Amino acid sequence: MSRKPFLLITLPLAVLMTAPAWADHDEIQRILEAKADAWQAGDGDAWARDYAEDSGVVNLVGTRFEDRSSNAERHTALLQGPFAGTSLSVDVQDITRLADDLAFAEVMFRVSGIESMPEGLPDRGNGELHTRMSFLFEHHDHHGWQIRFGQNTAVHP
């Protein structure tokens, strides 16, 4: 058998075998980018929608939230309080597949339009807050990719 027919058969198979990794990357990217829409809508439930029910998250001031519900409640309070009317930009820096059912993502967030910076957060003097957030994703057959854990860290000027 010559190399040409072999390549014609194996190349499409290789593409099919790698397609799920691209699909996973795209799905995780979509979940992360949807955070901006939830933020603009002031919707804490939409913000927390892609977190696992028993997920954990550590916010900018070190408070740990133990589940999706408390995460949603806190984001609702923030988005209807000190961050009402602000906008969020999402810059996905990296998505790394750790195992078949685990992935790690790193995102830069920029909140703009802050009229008064909440105490304890770095104030650049321009109404912007920059953070770096790390996400651990877990894949489940019934739920797809969900955030298992998140850690948000303020980026100081």
Q: How far apart are CA 111 and CA 99, in angstroms?
A: 32
State pTM to two decimals.
0.84
Looking at the 3D structure of the chain, how many domains does it have? 1
Q: What contacts 69, CB < 8 A, 6 or more positions away?
A: 48
Helices and strands (H, E) in the chain, number of each type? 3, 6
For residue 96, the domain's CATH number is 3.10.450.50
Which portions of the chain are predicted below pLDDT 50?
6-8, 10-11, 13-20
Q: With beta carbons less than 8 A apart as the criterion, state whether 137 and 148 touch.
A: yes
Specify the pLDDT at position 1. 54
Could you list the residue range(s) of the whole structural domain that residue 100 is in?
A: 3-154
- Alpha-carbon gap, residue 148 to 140, rounded angstroms: 11
Predicted confidence at residue 23, as pLDDT, reads: 72
